[in-house]
Amino acid sequence: MNNTFSPPRNPNSSSLLLTDELLLDYKRCDRRAFLNRYGDPQQRDPEREFVGKLKAENQRQIQELLKQYNWTGPEAPSRDWPQRIAQTIQLMNAGVECIYRGLLSHQTPPTKTLPSLTLVGHPTLLVKQPYPSQLGEWSYIPVNVKLGKRPKTEYKVVAAFHGYLLQQIQGFCPLTPELRLRGGKRYTVDLGMWLPPMEEVLQSCGSMLQSWQEPDVFISRQRCGLCDWQTYCHGIAQQKNHLSLVPGITPSRYEALQALGIETPEELAESEMLPDAELIEGELFAQLQQQAQSISENRPLFRYPNKRLPPFPSAPIELYFDLEAEPDRQVDYLFGVLCVNHETQEEQFYRFLAERPEDEPLVWQQFLALIWRYPQAPIFHFSEYEVETVKRLTKLYRCTYFSLSSLVSRFVDIHHWIVTSTTLPVENYSLKTLAKWLGFAWRDQAVSGDQTVCLYDKWLKVGDRSLLDTIIRYNEDDCRATYHLKTWLEDFLQNSVEED
């Protein structure tokens, strides 16, 4: 069952339609909200498989929560939103315990700045409470189920929006709207605190939609990663040579640079003006300027030309380590290690694969046995995840035949070395971007890290071993990309020292 509704874009020509989904998008990215309302659907990317998996996980969360209630819901089709709204109010008037997939609506009068707004919200649940209202000796609170681990600002804004709609319908402001987060965490939203910010977001979003003025593009690797408009917006940013393509440029820093008349990486690289120190400190500005210089000149730069770095770790035998995990099942199912023997010029890839989630303890012990076979070998990896996982699993499975500190001391984070020693002509410092910049190619170029999560999930459902083969190839290529990056970095740093 799909927990969304599909109202028409403009049910009333004299009123502007604003939904909770639109507000959620707007709070994350105003441009995304604008494009979802007015953009050309042909410019959208197809929904990524990983997004579909997240939606399925959210639906499982909801189904687990529904087991706690005697629930009912409107029966009208999802597109017949007026009828669903009427049926939701009928159920509220009847005082049912819990309403699932209910639809709330309220129309505001026009103001000097905005036309009438048709506000529509679909909280996950409406749960009956023993507080009198216009409905009778009861009222309702909204309960929203989200996949996030923490109560994000946009979740609270939407909860306040639902609280506002309920206040208009039942004449009583719900006391404690709830968020149900990943792992069953429960969080209550203070409407006294969040109603004013919600109203500001409502006015701002309404003004944007009324103006038909498309917001400026801004590329954020974290926020843009799963957006359907990513390819479209990224293409526009490249055409404009947009500053947001420079790593480290946040929205606030972008505004500070715009105030100086800086619009492109080239202008930033050549600028002799300094921004307000409260917005961008001098040292940070110098780093951003060096990043822009690296991009403009298309060459790597030594981040601190006058600073001596500690010796880069190296040994006759080196290990390159990468993990694959399935967050929904909370399992690290593939430990990949590339063993490089510089004395014999041999390379051997080892993969320890949990074909079932319950096999994780076994492959963990197999991984430890391998790295303990080479006690002097540094263990190169990319990002903090591998070390944090090793710490967690060591405690979980109470490994005692060597100390955690002796193991962790062998880990060398190539990402940390890269970002603290060099500045590269790239849009971001992910392994994929850096290795591709150096000419490394993954064998399955269409596969990404989030897709491996979907592939493992499919394997568990259908048992097709070709899915595991794809994951293993991807993991091995990640290990080899880390090796490729480490080799380049070692040479670059050595050459920088020799030039000094």
Task: Give the closest residue to 485 by CA, choosing from 392, 386, 419.
Answer: 419
pLDDT of residue 304: 81
pLDDT of residue 15: 79
Residue 83: CB atoms within 10 Å = 14
pLDDT of residue 4: 39
Task: Give the closest residue to 402 by CA, choosing from 373, 372, 378, 377.
Answer: 372
pTM of the predicted protein model: 0.87
Q: Are 336 and 472 in contact (CB under 8 A)?
A: yes
* Distance in angstroms between the alpha carbons of the first and the last residue of the chain: 65
Helix H or strand E segment including 141 = strand 139-145
In the numeric block, which tokens belong to residue 116? 């009438």
Q: Which residues contact 245 (CB under 8 A, 6 or more apart)?
A: 219, 237, 238, 265, 295, 427
Report the alpha-carbon distance of residue 471 to residue 324 in Å, rounded: 8
Q: Are 146 and 154 in contact (CB under 8 A)?
A: no
Q: Are 97 and 128 in contact (CB under 8 A)?
A: yes
Task: Give the closest residue to 335 by CA, choosing from 410, 403, 390.
Answer: 390
In the numeric block, which tokens belong to residue 429? 């410092």
Q: What are phi and psi of 187, to 5 degrees?
A: -140, 130
Report the alpha-carbon distance of residue 407 to residue 393 in Å, rounded: 12
Report the alpha-carbon distance of residue 353 to residue 336 in Å, rounded: 8
pLDDT of residue 402: 66
In the numeric block, which tokens belong to residue 252? 């606030």
CA distances from residue 278 to 288, 289, 485 in whole angstroms, order as listed: 16, 17, 36
pLDDT of residue 3: 39
Report the alpha-carbon distance of residue 275 to residue 282 in Å, rounded: 8
Q: Which residue is associated with the tokens 């490394």?
A: 440
Angle (nearest 5°) at CA 3 between 214 and 163: 75
Task: Give the closest residue to 456 by CA, choosing from 478, 441, 474.
Answer: 474
Tell me the pairing of strands 116-121 and 104-107.
Answer: antiparallel
pLDDT of residue 116: 92
Query: In the 8-state DSSP scheme, what is residue 312?
Result: P
pLDDT of residue 499: 56
pLDDT of residue 175: 80
In the numeric block, which tokens belong to residue 145? 């189920």
Mean pLDDT by 10 residues, the chain (500 residues): 39 75 95 95 93 92 95 94 96 97 94 91 96 95 94 96 96 89 93 94 94 92 88 95 94 90 93 79 89 95 79 90 93 97 96 96 94 94 94 84 82 95 96 96 92 95 96 98 96 71
In sign, the C-alpha dihedral spanning 271, 273, 277, 278 is: negative
Residues forming a β-bridge with 19: 120
In the numeric block, which tokens belong to residue 128? 């009956």
Q: Are 207 and 30 in contact (CB under 8 A)?
A: no
